[in-house]
Protein backbone atom coordinates (compact mmCIF):
# COMPACT_ATOMS: atom_id res chain seq x y z
CA UNK A 1 0.00 0.00 0.00
CA UNK A 2 2.81 2.41 0.81
CA UNK A 3 4.49 1.63 -2.52
CA UNK A 4 1.35 2.76 -4.36
CA UNK A 5 1.25 6.00 -2.34
CA UNK A 6 4.92 6.66 -3.12
CA UNK A 7 4.32 6.17 -6.85
CA UNK A 8 1.24 8.41 -6.76
CA UNK A 9 3.23 11.06 -4.88
CA UNK A 10 6.04 10.93 -7.45
CA UNK A 11 3.60 11.21 -10.37
CA UNK A 12 1.75 14.13 -8.78
CA UNK A 13 5.02 15.88 -7.91
CA UNK A 14 6.47 15.48 -11.39
CA UNK A 15 3.26 16.62 -13.07
CA UNK A 16 3.23 19.70 -10.81
CA UNK A 17 6.84 20.49 -11.69
CA UNK A 18 6.23 20.03 -15.42
CA UNK A 19 2.80 21.60 -15.90
CA UNK A 20 2.90 24.55 -13.48
CA UNK A 21 5.37 26.62 -15.56
CA UNK A 22 3.42 25.80 -18.74
CA UNK A 23 0.14 26.94 -17.18
CA UNK A 24 1.76 30.12 -15.85
CA UNK A 25 3.17 30.82 -19.32
CA UNK A 26 -0.17 30.38 -21.04
CA UNK A 27 -2.16 32.31 -18.42
CA UNK A 28 0.17 35.18 -17.50
CA UNK A 29 3.06 35.04 -19.97
CA UNK A 30 5.65 34.14 -17.32
CA UNK A 31 8.81 32.19 -18.24
CA UNK A 32 8.74 33.52 -21.82
CA UNK A 33 12.51 33.31 -21.99
CA UNK A 34 12.29 29.53 -21.69
CA UNK A 35 9.06 28.78 -23.55
CA UNK A 36 8.91 31.49 -26.24
CA UNK A 37 9.95 29.19 -29.07
CA UNK A 38 7.16 26.65 -28.56
CA UNK A 39 5.53 26.26 -32.00
CA UNK A 40 7.79 29.09 -33.24
CA UNK A 41 5.97 31.79 -31.22
CA UNK A 42 8.24 34.81 -30.96
CA UNK A 43 7.66 38.30 -29.59
CA UNK A 44 8.97 41.30 -31.53
CA UNK A 45 10.98 44.21 -30.20
CA UNK A 46 9.48 47.68 -30.60
CA UNK A 47 11.49 48.46 -33.75
CA UNK A 48 9.86 47.03 -36.89
CA UNK A 49 10.58 47.52 -40.58
CA UNK A 50 8.79 46.78 -43.83
CA UNK A 51 10.75 44.87 -46.46
CA UNK A 52 8.24 45.37 -49.29
CA UNK A 53 6.09 42.34 -48.52
CA UNK A 54 5.89 41.83 -44.77
CA UNK A 55 6.72 43.56 -41.53
CA UNK A 56 9.94 42.29 -39.95
CA UNK A 57 11.48 42.58 -36.51
CA UNK A 58 13.81 40.73 -34.16
CA UNK A 59 12.64 38.44 -31.37
CA UNK A 60 12.81 40.08 -27.95
CA UNK A 61 14.21 36.93 -26.33
CA UNK A 62 16.43 35.13 -28.85
CA UNK A 63 17.26 37.86 -31.39
CA UNK A 64 16.06 35.81 -34.38
CA UNK A 65 14.74 37.81 -37.33
CA UNK A 66 10.99 37.24 -37.48
CA UNK A 67 8.19 38.16 -39.88
CA UNK A 68 4.52 38.97 -39.35
CA UNK A 69 1.87 36.98 -41.22
CA UNK A 70 -1.47 38.29 -42.47
CA UNK A 71 -3.24 37.41 -39.18
CA UNK A 72 -0.75 39.45 -37.13
CA UNK A 73 1.21 36.51 -35.71
CA UNK A 74 5.00 36.58 -35.59
CA UNK A 75 7.03 33.59 -36.77
12-51 pLDDT tens trace: 999 998 888 878 877 877 777 766 766 667 888 887 888 8
The predicted structure's pLDDT at residue 5: 92
pTM score, two decimals? 0.53
Asked if residue 74 lies in contact with residue 65, where contact means CB atoms within 8 angstroms, the answer is: no
The dihedral built from the CA positions of residue 67, 73, 74 and 75, taken in this order, carries a sign that is: negative
The predicted structure's pLDDT at residue 75: 79
Residue 51 backbone phi and psi in degrees, to 5: -100, 15
The predicted structure's pLDDT at residue 35: 65
52 pLDDT above the threshold of 70? yes
Long-range contacts formed by 30-34: CB under 8 A, 24+ apart: 32/61, 33/61
Amino acid sequence: MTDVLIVIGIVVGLSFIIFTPIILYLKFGWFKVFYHDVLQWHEPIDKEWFNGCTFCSNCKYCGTEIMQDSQGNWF
